[in-house]
Amino acid sequence: MAELQNDRFLRALLREPVDRTPVWMMRQAGRYLPEYRATRAQAGSFMDLCRNAELACEVTLQPLERFPLDAAILFSDILTIPDAMGLGLRFETGEGPVFDKPVRSMADAKKLYVPDMGSDLGYVMNAVSTIRKNLNGRVPLIGFSGSPWTLATYMVEGGSSKTFSKIKAMMYDEPATLHHILDVLAESVIQYLNAQIEAGAQAVQIFDTWGGVLTPRDYKEFSLQYMHKIVDGLKRENEGRKVPVILFTKGGGQWLEDMAATGCDALGLDWTTDIDVARERVGDKVAIQGNMDPSMLYASPERIRAEVGFILEKYGKGSGHVFNLGHGIHPEVKPEHAEAFIKAVVELSPQYHK
């Protein structure tokens, strides 16, 4: 593998000194870029794009051609694991993912199995190794997975949900069924992320998109417990370097101390917790990634730059901060606003690292 020319993202995750704050964006390869929309049209469908290593590589690299980003993230979807379990995933225009065979009972749960990473999910590893080769050491490559709880919400609900009524009914009335589902998912995620690391991912992120809909008690039992199990099962070194692990629970600001106690290297922070407060609460246990409101990118470039300055100042001096949005970039954002955001981090952050 090519020598890494820019490792400030990996160094910041391990709280090592850097010359400036590294920056990347969740969903940086995506619908806000016209070149992404062109490649997606060429692929035919979203999952066809994920399954074509060359095209997945092309869209992963597109934002790097435009912006001075410090990391690339694998282009894929969080639902690859449930899809590989044979639950009949399809994407409906306007309503997002739909599972034809939702998991609603213990009988359904007992049919679940850990997919084979080579055959069932080999296309993901193929994409990872293709991207890593094409990056040629420019920046590190991030691999990722959904958290067991977040994946289970789609599998039980049968798709996206606003109320989470089916999975919450299962959680309260049939917790054994849900724990069975989460166990199979946790084991799947461990194998999936380890396979990505072996294929060339240099850091991994667990996306717990829906952990924030739980009570504190239920979050610990049904989400955090399984993410802790995953962190314990991950390969933390490869190619002679540490492989940092980022945990991100959207809406999880009240549980930062518990998340830091899992042994992860960094916490993703959404925009509902001030970054100075978060830094104070977790101390030097973990790095922090975040946390600009993605909607700020609808504002003028001047306002975006001011917000970047505000967040950098709130975090303060020293390493351990990876600048990011508090969630994925919205599809309607103008690319030049994303550029204003990233350039502001590049230009305004060196003063905090002298």
The pLDDT score that the predictor gives to residue 341 is: 98
Q: Is 27 a catalytic residue?
A: yes
**Residue 99: alpha-carbon gap to chain centroid:** 22
**29 has binding-site annotation:** yes
The pLDDT score that the predictor gives to residue 93 is: 79
CATH architecture designation of domain 8-353: Alpha-Beta Barrel (3.20)
Q: Considering only 91-100, 190-199, 249-258, 285-294, which range has the smallest mean pLDDT? A: 91-100
pLDDT in tens, 208-223: 999 999 999 999 999 9
Q: Is 15 a catalytic residue?
A: no
**209 has binding-site annotation:** yes
The pLDDT score that the predictor gives to residue 48 is: 95
The pLDDT score that the predictor gives to residue 234 is: 98
The pLDDT score that the predictor gives to residue 101 is: 98
Using CA of residue 204, residue 231, residue 242, residue 338, what is the dihedral sign? positive
Q: Is 154 a catalytic residue?
A: yes
In this prediction, residue 94 has a pLDDT band, given cuts at 50, 70 and 90, of confident
Residue 103 is which amino acid? V
The pLDDT score that the predictor gives to residue 342 is: 98
Contact criterion met (CB below 8 Å) for 12 and 22: yes
**298 has binding-site annotation:** no
How are beta strands 321-325 and 287-292 bridged, if at all?
parallel
Q: What CA–CA distance (Å, rounded) separates 38 from 61?
A: 14
The arithmetic mean of pLDDT across residues 336-348, rounded, is 98
Domain ranges of the chain: 8-353
DSSP secondary-structure letter at 147? Answer: -
Q: Is 51 a catalytic residue?
A: no
Q: Is the pLDDT of residue 2 over 90?
A: no
Q: Is the pLDDT of residue 95 over 90?
A: no
Q: What CA–CA distance (Å, rounded) separates 21 from 240?
A: 24
Residue 204 is which amino acid? V
Q: Is 31 a catalytic residue?
A: yes
Using CA of residue 276, residue 353, residue 62, residue 245, what is the dihedral sign? negative
DSSP secondary-structure letter at 114? Answer: P
pLDDT in tens, 233-292: 999 999 999 999 999 999 999 999 999 999 999 999 999 999 999 999 999 999 999 999
Axis-axis angle for helices 335-348, 53-66 (nearest 10):
60
The pLDDT score that the predictor gives to residue 213 is: 98
Q: What CA–CA distance (Å, rounded) separates 293 from 42?
A: 32
The pLDDT score that the predictor gives to residue 150 is: 98
Catalytic residue among 8, 40, 51, 132: 40
**pTM for this model (two decimals):** 0.98
DSSP secondary-structure letter at 23? Answer: B
Average pLDDT, the chain: 97
